[in-house]
Amino acid sequence: MATAIGAPVSTTHVVVGSVGGVGGADEYRMVNWNIGKDIIIAWCVTIPASAIVSATVFYLLRILG
């Protein structure tokens, strides 16, 4: 989906998604879905957190510069 719209894709996201997808396709119980849930939560927190840090640094440098 990301490729279709030209969005950048993280290698880590691709690898984790692939491993989970292949494990789930072979046998649903082979994947520890609780860890998968934690990974998805971490992905959802990482993007806004990095945006906030980036904006903060940008505005601090803009004020100081």
DSSP string covering 24-61, please?
A: HHH-GGGS-HHHHHHHHHHHHHHHHHHHHHHHHHHHHH
Measure the CA–CA gap between 8 and 48, rounded to whole angstroms. 16
The token pair at 32 is: 């520890």
| This prediction's pTM | 0.55
Cβ burial of 35 (10 Å; 0-12, 13-18, 19+) is exposed
Find the mean pLDDT for residues 28-45.
84
- Between the two ends of the chain, the Cα-to-Cα distance in Å is 40
Specify the pLDDT at position 22: 86
Find the mean pLDDT for residues 24-44.
84
